[in-house]
């Protein structure tokens, strides 16, 4: 496990990772949920976190976003340390988080939800481009945010963080609970985002879906990263993965 | 922080059916309200109406905080009362014009709101309510003891004075138009705040604060600004009321006043545009017309409150809006 980890890390040092997470630990009250997570992500990569329930995938995303109350270790983004920063400061550095529960605001309509997040940097997608990516949202612009279907809510949750100019997206199980045709659409969206130069850290249970979008996969177990598989090696490593994921 | 609300970018283009940011139903209700404001003084006792309007301002200000940000303050009497005392003192001792007296009262209430709010927003829920209550009790004892407030007697015989220095407000009808204008101004201001990008952030905080922070907003700043706005408007209400009655007393800073405004807002409809006003009307009318029943008024109020909580969770206006399937 150790050499699997160090080899790619060494190779990356020269290219310079956009985000370097090392020795990240996190606690919810008394419960210690992350025990030293190490992840490096280069600019423009789509990286997934795979693992069983309770392995610490969501906690990792929440820690990066500053939403876990107590954390230690190091989270460097563009060379700057963010491990103890407040969520709003992290957001304004250009990191955006789309939680599993989506967090659509019920008292705002679709457009208001879209326009709510502040611009953090220049270069966010303009509204009409967002509507091109997600035509459903345009049709339902005046609907109450939570009256949308699950898939539309997921698209709204992703769409609203594209407008802000954030370049690093944390997506938590965007495919969860959605019909296969919607999952395909979400997959197309993620590939489109990659084409546009966004960097994505994606949490997935479904590695068949992950395979269609990601460059690399980190496998988590018991609050640690235990393996890393490049997407092209995924099929060769299926046995190993099955063991980790228990599928 | 002002910069942050600025950066939230373009205001969403209003949909076709909105008029000045009001939905159609709200606009109709608004017209009814204006008509009632104009007609009412010819049928009802103007002083009663002025009292009602002062409490309507107070309840609207309170609703801004509890209904749109989800912060339950239990010490709003402090801002209402201080606004009243300062306005009364300005008008009586310094001889200022009524509009200046009210503005000074409101500004002081706002400053007080800034200090108290800064302390209180560090905690949530019941702790927030208790901190605001404790601070308001301090203000009560300050008003009881401070020399300028007149202790148990309050500040009495406050002149209504001349609006802008030349329009005498002594006749009840003139005073009524002035109070009605103040009410409409506060009402529209609150509506504007709630429907601005700033107001949308407030609603987002009420719904899901962690999500709002992780989108990049310093939620504490927004809560504090909302708190200050609410306190300032409560000060306007208190100042206006003390000029209407020519007296500022301990009743206005007493904790039961904080409970009363909460009651008005809940009875009318939390987080609705017209609810606080209707709630204020119901409670003030009960106090007025049932006055001969003495202490029973509080009992009846209690019963109404229980009925509201059990049967009309959305309040009067909230339930009507729900029946008609419109937002009021």
- DSSP alpha helix (H) spans, B121-254: 125-145, 172-194, 197-207, 209-214, 219-245
Give me the pLDDT at residue A220, please. Answer: 92
* Residue A12, pLDDT above cutoff 50: no
ipTM for the predicted complex:
0.81
A164 touching chain B per CB within 8 A: yes
* Residue B13, pLDDT above cutoff 80: no
What one-character DSSP code corresponds to residue B12? P
* Residue A121, pLDDT above cutoff 80: yes
A157 touching chain B per CB within 8 A: no
Q: Would you state the structure tokens that stand for residue A20, as one six-digit string?
A: 């370097």
* Residue B8, pLDDT above cutoff 70: no
Give me the pLDDT at residue A13, please. Answer: 43
Mean pLDDT, chain B, rounded, equals: 88
Q: CA of B273 to nearest chain A CA: how many angstroms apart?
A: 14
Between strands A224-230 and B162-163, the pairing is: unpaired
Contact A115 B8 (CB under 8 A): yes
Give me the pLDDT at residue A234, please. Answer: 83
- Point out the residue among A86, A108, A120 whose CB comes nearest to the CB of B204: A108
Question: Per the domain annotation, does B302 fall within a domain?
Answer: yes
* Least reliable range by pLDDT among A110-119, A158-167, B100-109, B306-315: B306-315
- Give B202-225 pLDDT, tens digit per residue: 999 999 999 999 999 999 999 999
Averaged pLDDT for residues A167-196 = 90
- Give A51-61 pLDDT, tens digit per residue: 888 899 999 99
Give me the pLDDT at residue B189, please. Answer: 95
A86 touching chain B per CB within 8 A: yes
Contact list in A for residue B4 (CB cut-off 8 A) is 118
Q: CA of A30 to nearest chain B CA: how many angstroms apart?
A: 20
Of residues B163 and A9, more confidence is placed in: B163
- Give B161-179 pLDDT, tens digit per residue: 888 888 888 888 899 999 9
Q: For chain B, what is the domain count?
A: 1
- pLDDT tier for residue A15 given thresholds of 50, 70 and 90: low
Distance in angstroms (rounded) separating the CA atoms of residues A63 and A173: 16
Averaged pLDDT for residues B307-311 = 84
Domains of chain A are 44-66+85-245 (3.40.50.300)
- pLDDT tier for residue B7 given thresholds of 50, 70 and 90: very low
Q: What is the 3-state secondary structure (H, E, C) of B214-247?
A: HCCCCHHHHHHHHHHHHHHHHHHHHHHHHHHHCC
**A102: nearest CA in chain B?**
B211
Q: What is the 3-state secondary structure (H, E, C) of chain A?
A: CHHHHHHHHHHHHHHCCCEEEEEEEEEECCEEEEEEEEEEECCCCEEEEEECCCCCHHHHHHHHCCCCCEEEEEEEECCEECCCCCHHHHHHCCEEEECCCCCCCCCCEHHHHHHCCCCCCCCCCCHHHHHHHCHHHHHCCCCEHHHCCHHHHHHHHHHHHHCCCCCEEEEECCCCCCCHHHHHHHHHHHHHHHHCCCEEEEECCCHHHHHHHCCEEEEEECCEEEEEEEHHHCCCCHHHHHHHHCC
- Give A153-179 pLDDT, tens digit per residue: 998 999 999 989 999 999 999 888 888
Question: Per the domain annotation, does B232 fall within a domain?
Answer: yes
Question: Per the domain annotation, does B55 fall within a domain?
Answer: yes
B204 touching chain A per CB within 8 A: yes
**B5: nearest CA in chain A?**
A118
Question: Per the domain annotation, does B4 fall within a domain?
Answer: no
- pLDDT tier for residue B12 given thresholds of 50, 70 and 90: very low
**B209: nearest CA in chain A?**
A103
Contact B12 A115 (CB under 8 A): yes
Give me the pLDDT at residue A247, please. Answer: 63
Contact A164 B217 (CB under 8 A): no
Contact B10 A115 (CB under 8 A): yes
A91 touching chain B per CB within 8 A: yes
Averaged pLDDT for residues B84-101 = 92
Q: CA of B264 to nearest chain A CA: how many angstroms apart?
A: 23
Give me the pLDDT at residue B324, please. Answer: 86
Question: Per the domain annotation, does B171 fall within a domain?
Answer: yes
Share of chain B above pLDDT 70, in %: 95
A65 touching chain B per CB within 8 A: yes
Contact B215 A117 (CB under 8 A): yes
- pLDDT tier for residue B297 given thresholds of 50, 70 and 90: confident
Interface A–B counts its CB contacts (< 8 A) at 75
- Point out the residue among B204, B208, B214 whose CB comes nearest to the CB of A91: B214
Bridge partners of A34? A26
Q: Which domain holds residue B208?
A: 18-38+46-324
Contact list in B for residue A118 (CB cut-off 8 A) is 4, 7-9, 215-217
Distance in angstroms (rounded) separating the CA atoms of residues B225 and A222: 43
Contact A92 B9 (CB under 8 A): no
What one-character DSSP code corresponds to residue B122? T
- In three-state secondary structure terms, B93 is coil
B207 touching chain A per CB within 8 A: yes
Give me the pLDDT at residue A10, please. Answer: 39
- In three-state secondary structure terms, B19 is strand
Q: CA of B32 to nearest chain A CA: how many angstroms apart?
A: 26
A175 touching chain B per CB within 8 A: no
Give me the pLDDT at residue A1, please. Answer: 41
Contact list in A for residue B203 (CB cut-off 8 A) is 105, 107-108
Closest CA to B246 of B147, B169, B165, B167: B169
CATH number of residue B247's parent domain: 1.10.3470
């Amino acid at each position: 496990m150790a050499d699997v980890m160090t080899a790619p890390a060494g190779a990356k040092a020269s290219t310079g990772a956009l985000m370097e997470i090392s020795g990240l630990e996190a606690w919810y009250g008394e419960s210690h949920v992350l025990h030293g997570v190490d992840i490096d992500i280069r600019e423009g990569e789509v990286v997934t976190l795979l693992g069983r329930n309770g392995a610490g995938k969501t906690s990792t995303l929440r820690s990066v976003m500053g939403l876990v109350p107590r954390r230690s270790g190091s989270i460097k983004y563009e060379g700057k340390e963010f491990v103890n920063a407040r969520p709003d400061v992290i957001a304004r550095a250009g990191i955006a988080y789309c939680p599993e529960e989506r967090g659509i605001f019920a008292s705002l309509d679709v457009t208001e939800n879209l326009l709510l997040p502040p611009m953090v940097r220049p270069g966010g997608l303009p509204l009409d481009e967002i509507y091109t990516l997600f035509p459903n949202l345009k049709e339902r612009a005046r609907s109450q945010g939570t009256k949308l279907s699950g898939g539309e809510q997921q698209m709204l949750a992703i769409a609203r963080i594209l407008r802000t100019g954030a370049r690093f997206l944390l997506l938590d199980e965007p495919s969860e609970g959605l019909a296969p045709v919607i999952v395909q659409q979400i997959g197309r969206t993620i590939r489109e985002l990659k084409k546009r130069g966004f960097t994505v850290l994606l949490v997935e249970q479904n590695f068949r879906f992950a395979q269609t979008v990601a460059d690399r996969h980190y496998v988590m177990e018991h609050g640690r990263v235990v393996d890393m598989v490049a997407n092209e090696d995924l099929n060769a490593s299926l046995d190993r993965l099955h063991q980790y994921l228990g599928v | 922080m002002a910069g942050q609300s600025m950066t939230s970018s373009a205001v969403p283009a209003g949909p076709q059916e909105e008029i000045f940011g009001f939905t159609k139903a709200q606009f109709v209700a608004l017209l009814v309200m204006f008509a009632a404001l104009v007609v009412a003084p010819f049928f009802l006792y103007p002083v009663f109406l002025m009292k009602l309007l002062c409490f309507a301002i107070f309840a609207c200000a309170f609703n801004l905080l509890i209904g749109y940000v989800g912060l339950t303050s239990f010490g709003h009497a402090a801002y209402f009362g201080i606004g009243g005392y300062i306005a009364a003192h300005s008008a009586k001792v310094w001889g200022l014009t009524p509009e200046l007296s009210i503005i000074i009262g409101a500004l002081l209430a706002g400053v007080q709101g800034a200090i108290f709010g800064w302390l209180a927003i560090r905690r949530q829920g019941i702790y927030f309510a208790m901190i605001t209550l404790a601070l308001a009790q301090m203000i009560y004892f300050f008003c009881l003891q401070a020399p300028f407030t007149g202790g148990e007697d309050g500040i009495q015989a406050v002149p209504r004075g001349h609006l802008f220095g030349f329009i005498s407000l002594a006749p009840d009808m003139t005073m009524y138009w002035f109070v009605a204008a103040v009410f409409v101004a506060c009402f529209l201001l609150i509506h504007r705040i709630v429907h601005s990008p700033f107001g949308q952030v407030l609603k987002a905080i009420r719904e899901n604060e962690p999500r709002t922070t992780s989108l990049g907003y310093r939620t504490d700043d927004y809560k504090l600004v909302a708190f200050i706005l609410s306190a300032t408007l409560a000060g306007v209400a208190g100042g206006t009321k003390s000029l209407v009655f020519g007296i500022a007393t301990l009743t206005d800073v007493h904790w039961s006043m904080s409970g009363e405004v909460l009651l008005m807002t809940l009875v009318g409809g939390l987080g609705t545009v017209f609810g606080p006003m209707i709630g204020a009307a119901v409670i003030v009318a009960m106090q007025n017309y049932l006055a001969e029943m003495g202490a029973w008024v509080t009992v009846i109020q209690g019963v109404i409150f229980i009925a509201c909580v059990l049967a009309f969770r959305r309040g009067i206006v909230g339930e009507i809006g729900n029946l008609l399937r419109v937002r009021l």
